Amino acid sequence: MTRNLLSMSLLWWTRIAMLIGIAASYLFMSEDLTLDQRRFVELGMMLFAANHALYMLFPKRFIWIFTADLLLALGFGVAIDPKDHTYLLFYGIESMTLMLMTNRRQVVVWWCGSVTLIWAVLVGVEYVQTQEITLFSNLFNYGFFVFATVVGWLIRYYQQSRQEFAKLYEELRAYARQVEEMTAVRERNHIAREIHDTVGHKMTALLVQLQAGRKLLEHDRERSHETLLHCEELARAALQEVRLSVRTLRDEETAAPTVTEALRRLLAEFAKMTGLEAKLIVQGDLTLISASWHPAIYRIVQEALTNAKRHGEARSATVLLAGVPDSIVLEISDDGAGVAQIQPGFGLLNMRDRVTELGGTVQFTSVQGEGFRIEVRIPLQQQVWRFGGTTA
């Protein structure tokens, strides 16, 4: 049995116990009851118990059960002394139970309106029979009915809020799991991208040096030895890059103080390792470039040079970095073999992801036999400060 079912069952057993207890109080607290009144009280107790059994058999018919109890409590108000307002206690217990079972507005309005109407009618009957109204007793017992109704509504509101909080908590946990999974996937992609960009770059240069060393080995052993030493340095650097990438540590912050200096070092090292003729052109105000963009720009140029040498067998490449009033423009072109149809691989897709993360666009163009061209455009965020001025 679930907690809700157990709570509802306990509620109904408590309800019937209180109804029978209130009815029994007529027998023990009223010594001047007639025989017919006592029989009515005993019959009322049995009818309350019968209604309880009917609810256990037909729980969906609880509205009819409450209607029967409404009329039965009315009987207590009519059959017993008109000055005795204990019958309102029945309505208080019933009202609290009803508030806990439903929040349907029509049912609540019907119930409260019916009880209030019955109370008003019985007060009128009392006045007709006795020519007086026991105001304190009426208000006290009717106040209990109102109090029980409000308490029942508050308890139900608390239960609903608790259920909603539990639902929100489960949704929050599910969202947290999704965020954790997405973070893990993003971190794996980040590490894979770093390994591809850094190690792939070093391995391309290493391959070029090994090919050059093999050719020099036949007729120039001294230069071949220097080339092999250079290959050893490249392999050691590649190993270090792997370690840094696996630990997700980036060394871009210490690579160079500015993006221009970082690109100059990159092109110089790549030209030295591969023999590629590289040219860097800088235009405009590069202070517009955010420091957080430097790693992405560096990796894009690195990947473009690697692809130019590895896939296009280019002999020269040109990098243009320009700061224009509304955006940053990065263009990389080479004189490699080019392709008739561009099919982005892992490197180009990573490049596109980096640009997209910065809110920019990237365009790849190529003509067979005429090289490859990459154009990146990153819009600048507009910031406006106003100072001074006068008001009319």
CA distances from 125 to 81, 92, 131 (A): 11, 21, 9
CA distance 307 to 270: 12
Q: Which of 69, 76, 38 lies closest to 52, judged by CA?
A: 69
Give me the pLDDT at residue 1, please: 47
Question: Residue 46 CA to chain centroid, in angstroms?
Answer: 55
Cβ(318)–Cβ(294) below 8 Å? no
All domains of the chain in start order, with CATH = 3-133 (no CATH), 259-381 (3.30.565.10)
Query: What confidence score (pLDDT) does residue 319 get?
Result: 94
The residues, ordered by sequence, that sit 6+ positions from 42 with a Cβ below 8 Å of its Cβ are 27
DSSP category for residue 315: S
Structure tokens at 316: 């020269």
Strands (E), 335-385: 361-366, 372-379
Quote the distance between the C-alpha of residue 28 and its chain's center.
Answer: 61
The strand ranges marked E within 260-348 are 277-284, 316-324, 327-334
Predicted TM-score (pTM) above 0.85: no
* pLDDT tens, the chain, 392 aa long: 455 655 667 777 887 888 888 888 878 776 777 888 888 888 888 988 888 888 788 877 777 887 887 788 777 777 776 566 677 777 787 788 778 777 778 877 887 888 788 777 777 777 777 777 777 777 777 787 788 888 888 888 887 888 888 888 888 888 877 877 776 777 677 666 666 666 666 666 666 767 776 676 667 767 777 777 777 676 766 665 665 455 444 444 444 568 899 899 889 988 887 788 999 999 988 887 888 788 889 889 988 888 888 788 889 999 999 988 888 999 999 998 888 888 888 778 888 888 888 888 999 998 888 899 999 999 886 555 666 655 54
Q: What is the DSSP string of 92-119?
A: HHHHHHHHHH---HHHHHHHHHHHHHHH
Q: Which residue has the tokens 């894009």?
A: 300
Distances (CA, A) of 375 to 188, 297, 346, 347, 378: 27, 12, 18, 15, 10
Give the DSSP letter of residue 382: P
**Which of 258, 373, 259 is CA-nearest to residue 317?**
373
Q: Which residue, among 13, 33, 150, 160, has the nearest Cα to 95 in the 3D structure?
A: 150
Encoded amino acid at 66, one letter: F
Torsion sign across C-alpha atoms 372, 377, 378, 380? positive
Alpha-carbon distance of 258 to 287, in angstroms, equals: 9
The one-letter code for the residue type at 245 is S
Q: What is the pLDDT of residue 94?
A: 79
Q: Using CA atoms, how far apart are residues 295 and 262, in angstroms rounded to an integer?
A: 10
Whether the Cβ atoms of residue 308 and residue 370 lie closer than 8 Å to each other: no
Residue 311 DSSP one-character state: T
User: What is the model's pLDDT at position 279?
Assistant: 92
| Cβ atoms of 354 and 372 closer than 8 Å | no
- At 263, which amino acid appears? L
